[in-house]
Structure 1
């Protein structure tokens, strides 16, 4: 299983639309970065736990996103499905620097050279 590593610079805060998302391809999987109306930034694996829908194309509301395929609501902090739905997608640690640079703790690939 992949483990989170040290933070990696992925973009600038201005690159993520408010109440929207940005996709970031990585060697492990595609990451969806979300920016909420209160300025919080979250990162999830860009796959709904239901049918692998692209969460980055969903609707951001509060601290959750609604999958565009089947309307599952996913908690942005934990990646956990909310309500009666069950499942979870990988949540990643995000840090935003004072300069607006966004860093994500991306997973290390097993067997990758250090």
Structure 2
């Protein structure tokens, strides 16, 4: 059985611009947090699964996908899975909104 997740307040909802990634650091992990145009929040490790790496926070959000301009990869914000024909996985973390606070599970 896996270890229990800790949750961390990651700022207020209004701190996050829609469709723009924001980098935060929790427990030494650098995360890219995204707010969609529909006010859904997602958090991925801010490390591109591409062999050459790079940040994910600078990607373009459309729906629940992140489009990486460096490698032209499409990543599902819900799971961190890179979409075909490419392959890879970014670590995804659960996010919820409690009142007006964004909360992330690590």
Relative to the length of structure 2, the TM-score reads 0.90
Pair 1:39 & 2:43 matched: no
State the match for 1:71 in structure 2. Answer: 72
C-alpha contact 2:8 2:26 (8 A) present in aligned 1: no
Q: Which residue of 1 aligns with 2:88?
A: 87
Contact preservation (8 Å) 1:95, 1:103? yes
Q: Which range moved further: 49-58 or 72-81?
A: 49-58
Q: Per the alignment, in what secondary structure is the counterpart of residue 5 of structure 2?
A: strand
Distance 1:9 1:70 in 2: 32
Residues 78-114 of structure 1 deviation map (CA, whole Å, 9 limit, x = unaligned): 000012011101000101012x1001012xxxxxxxx
**Native 8 Å contact 2:32 2:46 kept in 1:** yes
RMSD (Å) for aligned C-alpha atoms: 1.6
- Normalized against structure 1, the TM-score is what? 0.84
How many angstroms apart in 2 are the aligned matches of 1:86 and 1:95?
27
Q: Distance in 1 between matches of 2:24 and 2:17?
A: 14
Shift of 1:3: 5.2
Could you say which residue in structure 2 is the equivalent of 1:105? Answer: 105
CA distance in structure 2 between the aligned counterparts of 1:4 and 1:29, rounded to whole angstroms: 17
Query: Could you list the runs of 5+ residues in structure 2 that have no partner in the other structure?
Result: none
